[in-house]
Amino acid sequence: MKNYWQNAITFDEYLKVAEDRFHNNPNKEDEYQEYYELGLQRTNRTVKTFKIDEEQMQRAKSKNFKGKLLIISEPWCGDASATVPAAAKFFEAAGNEVRIFLRDSDPTLIDQFLTNGTQSIPKVIILTEEDQVKAVWGPRPKYGNDLLKKFKENPETYPREEFYNDLQVYYAKNRGHDAIEEIIELL
């Protein structure tokens, strides 16, 4: 984990990567290019609208967690644009170091934390002070997972477009609250 941590970036650096990839991606064959603009818009909206919930902060601090959070993410990811900014800002304010490891830069990290056999992101790896994995969260809050399950079980009655819309409306209203709550429980 120490190696992955050393190769991870800060949230501000992550935002710069998102901007650079949207405006001037050196990889002209990037299959996610069309998603960078939307991801960046959503990330910036989350940053602007995020407010620390003082009750959550008190609960987080009462855990006396001295470790750090390593988040596996990519700027094109819709789930990440809603949760990564909130989690990064919250846990940095709580006094924990937060870094982001770009999933596509080295798949060996995400391959250790698959979701039903897939490289789903974001994944929040909660590390102890000794760089040991304490817990893992992700790729989305329980409510988002419930929406996905509903879509997968009934795509005819709950079409993909409706699922995506419901998920994004939830993210916009929730502003990272549920993700932070679930991560606090794991500290």
Q: What percent of the chain has pLDDT over 70?
A: 100
DSSP state of 74: -
Checking if the pLDDT of 32 tops 90, the result is no
- Spatial contact of 85 and 11, defined as CB atoms under 8 Å apart: yes
Pick the CATH number of 2-140+176-186 from 3.40.50.261, 3.40.30.10, 3.40.50.300, 3.40.605.10: 3.40.30.10
pLDDT in tens, 78-136: 999 999 999 999 999 999 999 999 999 999 999 999 999 999 999 999 999 999 999 99
d(CA 9, CA 103): 12
- The model carries a pTM of 0.94
Closest CA to 38 of 24, 17, 23, 22: 22
d(CA 16, CA 180): 23
Annotated domain spans of the chain: 2-140+176-186
pLDDT at site 24? 87
SS3 of 98, please? strand
pLDDT in tens, 38-58: 899 999 999 999 999 999 999
